Amino acid sequence: MKIFCGRANPTTGSVEWLEEDEHYDYHQEIARSSYADMLHDKDRNIKYYQGIRAAVSRVKDRGQKALVLDIGTGTGLLSMMAVTAGADFCYAIEVFKPMAEAAVKIVEKNGFSDKIKVINKHSTEVTVGPDGDMPCRANILITELFDTELIGEGALPSYEHAHRHLMQEDCEAVPHRATIYAQLVESRRMWSWNKLFPVRVQTSLGEQVIVPPLELERCPGAPSVYDIQLNQVSPTDFTVLSDVLPMFSVDFSKQVSSSAACYSRQFEPLASGQAQVVLSWWDIEMDPEGKTRCTMAPFWAHEDPQELQWRDHWMQCVYFLPQEEPVVQGSALCLVAHHDDYCVWYSLQRTSPQKNGRTHPARPVCDCQAHLLWNRPRFGEINDQHRTDQYAQALRTVLKPDSICLCVSDGSLLSMLAHYLGAEQVLTIESSAASHRLMKKIFKANHLEDKINVIEKRPELLTSEDLEGKKDLWRIRSPCGDCEGFDVHIMDDMIKHALDFRESKEAEPHPLWEYPCRSLSDPQQILAFDFRQPVPPQPVRAEGSIELTRPGRSHGAVLWMEYHLTPDSTISTGLLKPAEDKGYCCWNPHCKQAVYFFSTMLDPRAPLGGPQTVSYTVEFQPLTGDVSMDFTLTDTLGDGHGLTLL
């Protein structure tokens, strides 16, 4: 049996699916999971613990045994909390086999094997009865099945099945309730992540404007949410058009439906403008009274911004309206939240759907190809006029009236820049059918379909005939140790063991502009590539060391590319300017940087005279594009602490 596993390409940030054999043991999935980040989320842990204690107490007060069903138990933490709170027995469901095996060991190490049964199944496969996985139905339901969108990991179908087949009527649930909130905003920056803007090019004949095809302008876009750290977005980047609106709630203690539904909230715009984006987040209440609440609200909507919990496993959502719409201050509108069993999307309407009798619209689907080919950061990159100007200036220095240009880049507008700047002939390689169709549409909208030749072929398969005969987040990795009084060292050991595998020695793509971070060293060139020379067949290898220049806690190394377009013009995919004196960084918001996590970190109290250097080895395979890295973390005491490489 073959298994498909996702791999994030560190250069593009996109997920690529690779085929693994039946003996694949998921080490990389363990190493790159968010389990550790959840265990470090103290706000989440404390509030779950409070909710669990209250639920067990309510059941006991009714004179009943407290029988707990924990769906998606992970390390077994919530089940151990339940037993500690007085639960009589817990059935801990975990479908991921390596995690279920770890949970069994953690439960045993903490002395709860007689009270907790770990079941390695999907919750929909769990059976109840004398010969089943559970002898009877449970009366307390504990889950942590949520993602940034709340329902994107299948929470609704799982709850629906659990109430029908695994839970008693009138059961307790922790969390008890979830509420999704939304706020309508106007934001040119965020809208640039969804639509192609006109691109201006200064030529010898005056200004030329690359316009998007009408099909792109009318396309409702991709249905997927864009989850980001809204706390890292400057308030100057958007204009608030509405108050924070509670859109809908889900009561997890009662029967839950995964059927499609919509919820409308009338509001009066706070300002006139263009409605473009819906910002959304949720909170969960751990008890029926709502006394214990865990919220994902960004700082401007948080009850106590000083107590804001930073977390990476739950962020905030950015949704794009199908089309931007003008709104007038004080003129009532309806914001409508739609959802099916896995997705949420929004629309803006003049009247409530219940009043106009409209049926639930289907999920928006991209029909222009652009949203399937370009991810959100790529849209932002293409719409970056300063970046375009840099490329145009570089092209002016090399183009001649008889230049023949070959553009090797899926979905790039560089071929159009070359044409407008005077190249005699332009060819562009589009290796996928989707990018071929998209570029044809863009060329046609700009009357260039006969000016630029599109070659649908992978670059390495190109022949002279094709050219017409011309040849011109550290918490995610840090050890947990004890979590809320429970020993989870086994989880740490499993992640560390997973990190020892070759696949996990590769860097991971992360948008560092969303993550507050500080550099502990100055940037250093690792490898250089001369694109004017033939690609070398042998691996390109670099070894060296980098010196620590600032004290602090180190979590890993960051690598990125700088493209030297001309001697005077450089585009960086990483740092946009030198780090400040204290090391605070300004990262390119359109790109993801390659992050290599260290398995140990530097004690923040350690003096600069202690750890000073880190040795590195980087090897690049030109024919496959694979990059492997190895860092030897050393200090004067020989403890192997990690230093940040920037």
| 97-109 and 77-84 helices, crossing angle to 10° | 30
Three-state DSSP class for 368?
coil
Distance from chain centroid for Cα 378: 14
Q: Strands 239-240 and 177-186: what pairing?
A: antiparallel
Distances (CA, A) of 619 to 352, 413, 480, 520: 59, 31, 32, 23
Select which of 144, 149, 172, 514 is catalytic.
144
Q: What is the spatial distance between Cα 96 and Cα 120, in angstroms, rounded to a whole number? A: 7
* DSSP character string of 18-64: EEE-TT---HHHHHTSSHHHHHH-HHHHHHHHHHHHHHHHHHHHTT-
Distances (CA, A) of 554 to 213, 494, 593: 47, 22, 17
- DSSP for residue 562: E
* 144 among known catalytic residues: yes
* 153 among known catalytic residues: yes
Q: What is the spatial distance between Cα 310 and Cα 295, in angstroms, rounded to a whole number? A: 11
How many CB atoms lie under 10 A from the CB of residue 234?
Answer: 7
Distances (CA, A) of 138 to 3, 144, 168, 228: 34, 17, 6, 36
Q: What is the spatial distance between Cα 507 and Cα 503, in angstroms, rounded to a whole number? A: 9
* DSSP character string of 100-121: HHHHHHHHHHTT-TTTEEEE-S
**What stretch of H or E contains 17?**
strand 15-20
Question: In the numeric block, which tokens belong to residue 474?
Answer: 């550290």
How many CB atoms lie under 10 A from the CB of residue 332?
Answer: 11
Select which of 20, 101, 153, 484 is catalytic.
153
CA angle 78, 514, 384 (to 5 degrees): 150
**Phi, psi torsion values for 232, nearest 5 degrees:** -95, 0
Burial 108-143, CB ≥16 within 10 A → b, else e: eebebeebbbbbbebbbebebeeeebbeebbbbbbb
Q: What is the spatial distance between Cα 440 and Cα 404, in angstroms, rounded to a whole number? A: 20
The catalytic residue positions are 144, 153
